[in-house]
Amino acid sequence: MDKRYEPLFQPWRIGNVEIKNRIVMLPMEGTNMIQWEAKTGFVKNIGAFYRDRKDNNIGLFIPGLIPLVSIVGEKWIYEHPEVFKPVRPIVKEIHDSGAKIFFQLSAGAGRSMILPQLLKLFVKKGLIRNLSSKLIMSKWWWSAPDDNEPNVWDPDVRMGEFTSDMISRFVYAFGQTAKLCKDAGVDGVEIHAVHEGYLLDQFAMPYTNHRNDCYGGSLENRLRFACEVVKEIKKVCGDDYPVSLRYSVCSMTRGFNKGAVPGEVFTEVGRSMEESQKAIQILEEAGYDMFNCDNGTYDAWYWAHPPVYAPLNMNLSYVEHIRQFTSKPVVCAGRMQPEEAADSIAAGKIDAMGIGRQLLCDPEFVTKIKEERMEEIRPCIACHGACLPFCGLNGKGTDIDPLHPDMGRCVLNPWTNNELKYSLKPARHPKKIAIIGGGIGGMETAIQASKRGHEVDLYEKTDRLGGAFIAASAMSFKEKDKQLLQWYEHTLKQTDVRIHFNTEISDLDDLNADIIVVAVGAKAKTLPIPGIEHAITAIDFLNGSQECGENVAVIGGGLTGCEIAYELALKGKKPVIVEATENILGAKGICMANSSMLKELLRYHEVPVYTSSTVESIDGHSITLKTSKGTAVLRADTVILSVGYLSDKRFAEEKETKKKNKVFFVGDCDQVGSLKTVIRQAYETIQKISY
């Protein structure tokens, strides 16, 4: 093992429980062993997910949260001990591997509850009959510390008050449920949370708690609910039963649906560092044995779920600081990197590294570090494309599906949480496969085909693999995207795939193959605008083939256009965004953590945005816009066109010919999609061919 990483593999203790190393798998959606929301009980097939990870050197597992009461029907989990019985075999397997496991228990989301979209989803899935009243949903999920509190996802929806009687019932339920966890062999529990703006955090923060009873006002009163919870658990389970707290050091929140960005000077409306220093001492005195830390609230969601725009090790300095004010161990989460985590642990500034999405992307992540196989690590690119499909727009949820089938899965690794769907067995009848196109779709297809024992030839018309993703990864904040390209190149070298560079295929009949996979991608769209010849494409800019002037107009406020504008702002340019629809970043499928952070960064860098606007002409020095307020002329030394893509249909006729059972299409050449659709289609194409 590289000596730099040795601190990660030293044992430590949480209360009386010894953990074999400093790696904690954090709770994530889709990693729940017990779901207790609409359908209740043990999660079928979840054992396969943990078997991929239990022998891969993770010290402590914390599965996804368990709500104490169901969303529909008011079923309390402590009244249903039978759901813990199927957990015991997995817990035993984890213990046999030398690891430990804590279960995370939740009081609920309060104003962060996804409403009313969740109700509509329940109706669609047949879980409830109608939407006639919000009382269909348990009052425990409709309530917040304050009566009439605005819901995060839809501020027009107002929450009810979480009464003192409800608090007492919850405190009791925490104790009884923790006892069921202990009886099932679970090593400890984690309380979710004075964290991320969930219900207990709403009680703790001044901007969401205006109560005038013993649960409001002073810091001690605002933390009373969380303190009563740990005291009850210790009373029921014993003082030696470990209790962790998921803890946001700072809220990083400017107001309702207003987050701060890294480096910004702002007025904190939630938990400031000054208050956090006092809060963690109160919580420790109440009985908490560990603090599992990051930052943020649902109003600044990206601090707890850092997207690609977030710096690596985003929360580390905050957690290192708060560690000085507690004698209990702290875990730090938020795009944590092993080098920085090891250094901080060695210096005694934190006690363990919390990782989540990276373990969805590569279950062997920790083992590869230990065995010095760093180049084999498939890097998480913080896209949130499958692990966290909670999407929203301008405070109004428009694309929210918390029971989405992708929950807890991974864009880059479709195997995750599909372990029983896909196969890695050798193909029944190995074939000679020719793949046209060396982009992500072509490379993924080649890797999967080779793994299954097929003979593979990959044809790429240029001298480099990566296709359009080379341009997509070019921006300065996409270091992990660049690492992903390196991972693909390294992984292909470990296979028997024959790569033919500088080879353009124009006729499929020229290929000697049993199966042909077309993965030639897409082409940039253009617009019929006078003077469009003065514009450059997004790919031209990202590939560095065209220089930009000082004032840059980006036509298209989708994901790529907004990322380009942010990159230009970082470079000191003066970009503007022109978008024809009412909102930027309005496409479905963009996680709210990503879209809200990018919008806040554009705000912070003062990038002008013109929505409901179209470009009437370009003259090389300016653009003329038609806006809702009339005509506007903007200076533009450079115009970048980012209005989407069209499938490359050069081989489309093959779908309708006698070759249709021999020719498969993967990625954007079939239908323009996303990285998720490209990689999944590659996976499923080889699954079909190999059957």
Catalytic residues: 198
- Partnered with residue 161 across adjacent β-strands are 144
Q: Is 612:628 a contact under the CB 8 Å cutoff?
A: yes
The DSSP element (H or E) to which 435 belongs, if any, is strand 432-436
How far is CA 392 from each of CA 257, 309, 591, 676, rounded to the nearest angstrom?
11, 18, 7, 19
Is 389 exposed, middle or buried, given 0-12, 13-18 or 19+ CB atoms closer than 10 A?
Answer: buried
Q: Is 202:211 a contact under the CB 8 Å cutoff?
A: no
For tokens 């054992």, the residue is 47
How many other C-beta atoms are found inside a 10 Å radius of the C-beta of residue 547? Answer: 9
Q: Is 107:167 a contact under the CB 8 Å cutoff?
A: no
Name the strands in the sheet holding 515-518, side by side, starting at the edge strand that comes first in the sequence: 498-500, 455-459, 432-436, 515-518, 663-665
Q: Tell me whether strands 23-25 and 352-355 are parallel, antiparallel or unpaired.
A: parallel
DSSP character string of 517-552: EE---EEE-----TTGGG-EEHHHHHTT-S---SEE
Could you tell me which of 244, 155, 256 has the C-alpha nearest to residue 202? 256
**Secondary structure of 336-359 in HEC code, one letter for each residue:** CCHHHHHHHHHCCCCCEEEECHHH
How far is CA 147 from each of CA 110, 132, 142, 208, rounded to the nearest angstrom?
11, 21, 10, 10
User: Could you give the CA distance from residue 152 to residue 310 in angstroms, rounded to a whole number?
Assistant: 22
User: Could you give the CA distance from residue 472 to residue 459 in angstroms, rounded to a whole number?
Assistant: 21
Which residues touch 45 (CB under 8 Å, ≥6 apart)? 419, 420
Q: In one letter, which amino acid is 526?
A: T
Q: Is 400 helix (H, G, I), strand (E, B) or coil?
A: strand
- Partnered with residue 552 across adjacent β-strands are 575, 638
Q: Provide the CA 38 distance to its chain's centre, in angstroms.
A: 23
User: Could you give the CA distance from residue 141 to residue 262 in angstroms, rounded to a whole number?
Assistant: 32
Question: Residue 645: phi, psi to the nearest 5?
Answer: -135, 160
DSSP character string of 25-74: EPP-TT--SEEESSSEEEPTTHHHHHHHHHTS--SEE-PSPEESB-TBT-
User: Could you give the CA distance from residue 663 to residue 518 in angstroms, rounded to a whole number?
Assistant: 7
Q: Is 58:364 a contact under the CB 8 Å cutoff?
A: no
Could you tell me which of 641, 653, 655, 657 has the C-alpha nearest to residue 578? 641
Q: With the CA atoms of 343, 347, 350 and 355 taken in that order, what torsion angle do they form, in degrees rounded to the nearest 10?
A: 10
Question: Residue 36: phi, psi to the nearest 5?
Answer: -140, 55
Q: Is 583 helix (H, G, I), strand (E, B) or coil?
A: coil
How far is CA 317 from each of CA 152, 288, 328, 351, rounded to the nearest angstrom?
28, 22, 17, 13
